[in-house]
Amino acid sequence: MKFDMMRVRVDGRVVARTGPGQLRAVRGELYIKDEFYPDLNRYSRTGTFMCEDGQQLKLLDAALMHASPTMLTISGFERGDRNCIPIDFAQTWVLVECEGPEPQGSIGPPFRS
């Protein structure tokens, strides 16, 4: 099943929903499985969002925070780098049913988490 997914945070900071242009939305499919990460020396339940453009987004320690017939909310942490230094930061993904020809960030009240 395809979803439109919005990341609630940028570099670990919550993005206000009053500025939907800042809220990145992508369309694709969600997969969740346990993967081993040698640098963490443990398994992590990993959510992989396979975007239509071929990009793969990863959410480690993925945990379902909210589920309803219209929305899924999954929290965990993403890995990135800042100034060539690896960094892990908190992230929440909100997945909704696809609407329209392209994914778009939504405005409105704060997301339930």
49-97 pLDDT per residue, tens? 999 999 999 999 999 999 999 899 999 999 988 888 889 999 999 999 8
Domains and CATH numbers, the chain: 2-16+25-97 (2.30.29)
Q: Tell me, what amino acid is at 44? A: S
Burial 43-71 (b: 16+ CB within 10 A, else e): ebbbbbbeeeeeeebbbbebeebeeeeee
Q: What is the pTM of this model?
A: 0.84
Instruction: Give the whole-angstrom CA distance, residue 6 versus residue 17.
Output: 11
33 close to 46: Cβ distance less than 8 angstroms: yes
